[in-house]
Structure 1
Amino acid sequence: MSLDLDTTVSITRASLASDLVAAGVTVVAAGLSPGSSGNLSVRATDGTILITPGGAVLGSLDAERLAVLDADGEWIGGDKPSKEAALHLALYRKNPEHRAIVHVHSPQAVAASCLEPWAPNSALPPITPYFVMRAGQTPLVPYRAPGSPELGELLSGLSFPFHAALLQNHGQLTSGRNLADAIDAAVEVEEASRITLITTGKERRLLDEREIADLTERYGSSWTPVNR
């Protein structure tokens, strides 16, 4: 007997909710989400989005209380969504093939977001192959208060491709084709931030344009050559 559409949607949503709860545990275990900071979301094939509620502790999420947004971003179920929902929606629009977003206040990325950006296309330099492969260029989004709709507007206004960003004096944001990819990107942003901070003021050897082009072609990440 075939399942009707409503039943199929319910099963899919339950599966995504379980994935989101597990992702929250992973993010906390990786040291990316202190306290009740940060938020996660995942998008179903019908455009429905599950996002963590405001003030939720990512390591102890309740699948039954996750906020549900429709394809237009309207709140249609669960607890009240994170105040950063507009930021998630903007990054989904930027990367329509992506199904998951991680926003965390990881300490090294926050510290790096307080510095002047390395270049217009990336706050962080091409310092490791894994950063270029899994995160790619990571622009700095200018400061606005957390939850401000302007954050999403500023992100959308950046014309070049990217799926990771630093939010000035705030944290980091990554998207991926699934939660594992988005988390991997967040881990690499944190690590690249750490290495950038400890090598600041020293003579650094960065990946060159040929090495970057090879990685982006092989792994599908983005890096726009710039004159600095």
Structure 2
Amino acid sequence: MNARRDDLIRAARSLFDRGLTHGSTGNLSVRAEGGILVTPTGSSLGTVTADELSLIDDRGRHLGGPAPSKEAFLHAAVLRARPGAQAVVHTHSTHAAAVSCLADLDPSDALPPLTAYFAMRIGRLPLLPYYAPGDDALEALAERTARDHVALLLSNHGPVVAGKTLSAAMDALEELEETAKLFLLLRGVATRPLTPAQVDALRPPN
């Protein structure tokens, strides 16, 4: 349990120090003995400590420690949907959040496969409708969608990414953010995304 706590705090610091979260935004979780460790409500990923982490069960119910993030239910839902995943990372990272605010995105696939690594680490990126932060009406939809997708983009909010390990979830989150940045840089310019055949050859198994 202590190693999982330490890993979660290192990941939180890394996200904050590199500007992938700001203020008290963003939350992380990892499976642990007895439940799921998740960052607490109102915390900054730049200052949260290991003894401040919350413990929830697989339905998002609070088991121990401080009150969990108001989006703990979302972490629990994604982990239920993806039994092979060990961790979930949610940020309001600038470029992915910006894409989530655009009109006329394909809700089944919000970003084109501009790079091989996006195709490998993310695959298709569904855009979920807007729900207020902490609105657990999102729970059932997030769980259904996560069964077939490693990452979700919440409208006017930001990305949610699962991984077989915490480091894999972090890598995928960063790939999503960099692809969102490329997408915004290239808007209005003719682009050459990977072909469907190229994507299929790279797409990760669910």
With normalisation by structure 2, the TM-score equals: 0.94
Unaligned runs of 5+ in 2: none
Name 2:191's counterpart in structure 1.
204
Unaligned runs of 5+ in 1: 1-12, 223-228
Contact 1:163 1:175 (C-alpha < 8 Å) held by counterparts: yes
Tell me if 1:151 matches 2:143: no
Q: How does 1:24-35 map to 2 (within 5 A)?
A: 24-35=12-23
- 2: CA distance, partners of 1:127 / 1:61: 35
Question: What is the CA-CA distance between 1:116 and the residue it aligns to?
Answer: 3.4
Distance 1:38 1:214, change over 3 A: same
- 2: CA distance, partners of 1:178 / 1:158: 20
Distance 1:69 1:213, change over 3 A: same
Contact 1:132 1:212 (C-alpha < 8 Å) held by counterparts: yes
Identify which range, 146-155 or 110-119, moves more after superposition.
110-119
Residues 32-67 of structure 1: CA distance to partner in whole angstroms, max 9, x if unpaired?
Answer: 1011100000012x5610000011111222111100
Q: Which of 15, 37, 59 is the aligned partner of 1:50?
A: 37
Q: Which of 139, 147, 151 is the aligned partner of 2:126?
A: 139
Instruction: Tell me which stretches of 4 or more aligned residues in structure 1 moved more than 6 Å.
Output: none
* Aligned AA (2:118): F
- 2: CA distance, partners of 1:130 / 1:214: 12
Name 1:129's counterpart in structure 2.
116
Question: What is the CA-CA distance between 1:207 and the residue it aligns to?
Answer: 0.3
Distance 1:150 1:117, change over 3 A: farther
* Aligned AA (1:146): P
Tell me if 1:64 matches 2:51: yes
The structure that has the greater radius of gyration is 1
- 2: CA distance, partners of 1:128 / 1:174: 18
Q: Alignment RMSD, CA only? A: 1.7
Q: How does 1:1-228 map to 2 (within 5 A)?
A: 13-44=1-32, 46=33, 48-116=35-103, 118-158=105-145, 161-216=148-203, 220-221=204-205
- 2: CA distance, partners of 1:123 / 1:38: 20
Identify which range, 144-153 or 67-76, moves more after superposition.
67-76
Question: What is the CA-CA distance between 1:120 and the residue it aligns to?
Answer: 3.7
Question: What is the CA-CA distance between 1:165 and the residue it aligns to?
Answer: 1.2
Question: What is the CA-CA distance between 1:90 and the residue it aligns to?
Answer: 1.4
With normalisation by structure 1, the TM-score equals: 0.85
Question: What is the CA-CA distance between 1:21 and the residue it aligns to?
Answer: 0.6
Question: What is the CA-CA distance between 1:115 and the residue it aligns to?
Answer: 1.3
Count of residue pairs the alignment pairs up: 206
Q: Give the fraction of aligned pairs with identical amino acids, expressed as a percent.
A: 42
Contact 2:86 2:164 (C-alpha < 8 Å) held by counterparts: yes
- 2: CA distance, partners of 1:195 / 1:185: 15
Question: What is the CA-CA distance between 1:200 and the residue it aligns to?
Answer: 1.6
* Aligned AA (1:131): F
1:83 partner SS: coil
- 2: CA distance, partners of 1:192 / 1:47: 36
